[in-house]
């Protein structure tokens, strides 16, 4: 595969996989640590910890993106990996719930700066559009493989080790990820067109608010968060208290959701070559609405079966993959190259703002009122996100322009531009000849305008 012939991308991809698997082990261990310290209130503890995580992402990510072109990105990524390794190494030694909150805050502050920087590096290393689309798919496959295999590895490890040892694997993963990043040649970022700090922070968010297709992505973020919170926050209590499962069973149920995500991610690269991203993403929202509705039915009717729960968790995993995988392609098609870091950081913050809303509902409401009530609220939010996407994202998006850009004809693909220009010249030439024969002196036809701005380079269907 030509993509993996790129040495720098190959190393960055390896760093991503290692860090993802380390994070996956820590996610399982964090849930079990919360259950060990809080018992039946583990959902509330985990919900609070994840809410802290979302606050860090929403606040820090756009600030990091605003200054990413002023810092050596390779050094920044390496230092952040080292910091995360040290913080995770301290988690096995916590004895109080507030210790979890403090360390999670530090860990996620580093991750909030790391992730948008890492995402913005990829298009600078993988510059060809087909390869970049495949890089997005490869990243999603890596994420889904982590969500599938990390719980499985955790389940096997928990048969021999206590859960706090899983944090050691996470720390080692971050260190190795940092070494791989350090060995990669990362070009310096393109200078931003914004000079003031506040403009740099808000530029990406402004693009989202002013672009209909991106407003649709914002609505889909809510659907993803609503369904995903059920899996991330409530699995440990649901499996341990409702199904009567073990620590390993928690990991296996998380793997069921990861399996659904992996199944969808494997078929998406070819599907996205034939089907518009909007169609794929809205279909994914349908899966999420169906999955949350099924979860409510399980909880309200008392149908606490292993098979039923695994099927629902897998449906949610499929829906998340269908929404998340094409998002990078939509973002890149909506802005000029030097605005990519800002719009990726905005998506990072805005998507996690949705999780900031849904995590407390799953954690606190689930603990105090029960799963049926909490999941009903989350199902309603998932439905609102799906409906919002349908209303905000025009079905015929071919004429879509960036904010402030006027276009008179649909956007063409870069590969089609030469053919379009040749056809236009031929048409004008024929018209010139005809008009010259009938109206001497009027054989010249002014050149017709082409679309300007980001729309003219859009590769989004």
DSSP secondary structure of 400-420: ---TT---SS----HHHHHHH
Q: What is the DSSP letter of 192?
A: P
Q: pLDDT by residue for the chain (461 residues), tens digit each? A: 677 788 888 888 888 888 877 776 777 777 778 888 888 887 788 788 878 878 887 787 767 766 666 677 888 889 989 998 998 888 888 888 888 888 888 888 888 788 767 777 887 788 776 777 677 667 655 665 565 566 666 666 766 777 777 788 788 889 999 999 988 888 766 655 544 545 655 777 788 888 899 999 999 999 999 999 999 889 988 998 889 888 788 878 888 888 888 788 788 878 888 889 999 999 999 999 999 999 999 999 888 889 999 999 999 999 998 998 888 888 878 887 667 766 776 787 788 889 889 989 998 899 899 999 999 999 999 999 999 999 999 887 653 333 333 332 333 333 333 443 444 444 434 444 344 444 444 444 333 333 333 333 333 23
Kindly provide the b/e burial profile for residues 211-248, where b requires at least 16 CB atoms within 10 angstroms of the residue's own CB. bebbbbbbbbbbbbbbbbbbbbbbbbbbbbbeeebebb
Q: Is the dihedral of CA 395, 396, 397, 401 positive or negative?
A: negative
Q: What's the pLDDT score for residue 456?
A: 31
**How many CB atoms neighbour CB 103 within 10 A?**
20
Q: What's the pLDDT score for residue 17?
A: 83
CB 88, CB 170: distance < 8 Å? yes
Q: What's the pLDDT score for residue 420?
A: 37
Our CA dihedral for 35, 374, 298, 237, rounded to 10 degrees, sits at 0
Q: What's the pLDDT score for residue 377?
A: 97
Q: What's the pLDDT score for residue 196?
A: 54
Q: What's the pLDDT score for residue 200?
A: 58
Between CA 360 and CA 188, with CA 113 as vertex, the angle to 5 degrees is 155
Half-sphere exposure of 413 (CA within 13 A, CB side): 8
Kindly provide the b/e burial profile for residues 368-394, where b requires at least 16 CB atoms within 10 angstroms of the residue's own CB. eeebbbbbbbbbebbbebbebbeebbe
Q: What is the DSSP letter of 246?
A: -
CB 102, CB 49: distance < 8 Å? no
CB 351, CB 320: distance < 8 Å? no
Q: What's the pLDDT score for residue 454?
A: 32
Residue 28 CB contacts under 8 Å (≥ 6 apart), including other chains: 150, 151, 154, 163, 166, 250, 251, 254
Q: What's the pLDDT score for residue 150?
A: 63
Q: How far apart are CA 368 and CA 373, in angstroms?
A: 10
Q: Which element (helix H / strand E) includes 302?
A: none
CB 80, CB 175: distance < 8 Å? no
């Amino acid at each position: 595969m030509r993509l993996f012939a790129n040495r720098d991308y190959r190393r960055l991809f390896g760093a991503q996989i290692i860090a993802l698997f380390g994070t996956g082990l820590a996610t399982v261990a964090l849930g079990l640590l919360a259950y060990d310290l809080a018992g039946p209130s583990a959902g509330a503890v985990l919900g609070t910890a994840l809410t802290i995580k979302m606050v860090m992402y929403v606040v820090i990510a756009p600030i990091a993106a605003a200054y990413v072109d002023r810092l050596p990105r390779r050094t920044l990524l390496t230092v952040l990996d080292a910091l995360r390794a040290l913080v995770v190494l301290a988690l096995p030694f916590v004895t109080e719930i507030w210790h979890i909150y403090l360390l999670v805050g530090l860990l996620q502050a580093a991750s909030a700066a790391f992730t948008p920087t890492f995402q913005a590096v990829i298009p600078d290393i993988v510059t060809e559009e087909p390869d970049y689309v495949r890089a997005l798919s490869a990243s999603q496959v890596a994420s889904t493989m982590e969500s599938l295999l990390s719980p499985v590895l955790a389940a096997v490890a928990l048969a021999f080790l206590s859960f706090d040892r899983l944090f050691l694997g996470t720390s080692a993963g971050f260190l190795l990820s940092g070494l791989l990043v350090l060995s990669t040649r990362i070009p310096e970022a393109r200078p931003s067109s914004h000079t003031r700090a506040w403009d740099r922070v808000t530029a990406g968010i402004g693009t989202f608010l002013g672009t209909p297709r991106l407003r649709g992505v914002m609505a889909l973020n809510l659907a993803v968060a609503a369904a995903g919170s059920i899996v991330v926050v409530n699995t440990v209590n649901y499996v341990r208290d409702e199904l009567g499962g073990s620590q390993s069973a928690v990991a296996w149920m998380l793997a069921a959701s990861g399996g659904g995500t992996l199944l969808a991610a494997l078929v998406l690269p070819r599907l996205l070559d034939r089907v518009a991203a909007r169609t794929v993403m809205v279909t994914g929202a349908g899966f999420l609405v169906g999955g949350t509705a099924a979860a409510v039915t399980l909880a309200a009717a008392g149908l606490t079966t292993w098979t039923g729960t695994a099927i629902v968790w897998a449906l949610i995993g499929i829906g998340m993959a269908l929404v998340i995988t094409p998002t990078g392609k939509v973002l890149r098609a909506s802005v000029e190259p030097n605005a990519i870091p800002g719009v990726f950081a905005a998506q990072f913050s805005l998507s996690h703002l949705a999780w900031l809303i849904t995590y407390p509902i799953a954690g606190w409401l689930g603990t105090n009122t029960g799963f049926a009530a909490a999941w009903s609220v989350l199902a309603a939010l998932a439905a609102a996100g799906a409906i919002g996407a349908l209303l905000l994202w025009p079905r015929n998006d071919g004429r879509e322009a960036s904010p402030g850009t006027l276009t008179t004809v649909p956007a063409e693909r870069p590969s089609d531009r030469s053919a379009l220009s040749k056809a236009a010249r031929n048409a004008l030439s024929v018209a010139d000849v005809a008009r010259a024969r009938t109206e001497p002196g009027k054989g010249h036809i002014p050149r017709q305008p082409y679309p300007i701005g980001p729309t003219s380079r859009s590769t989004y269907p």
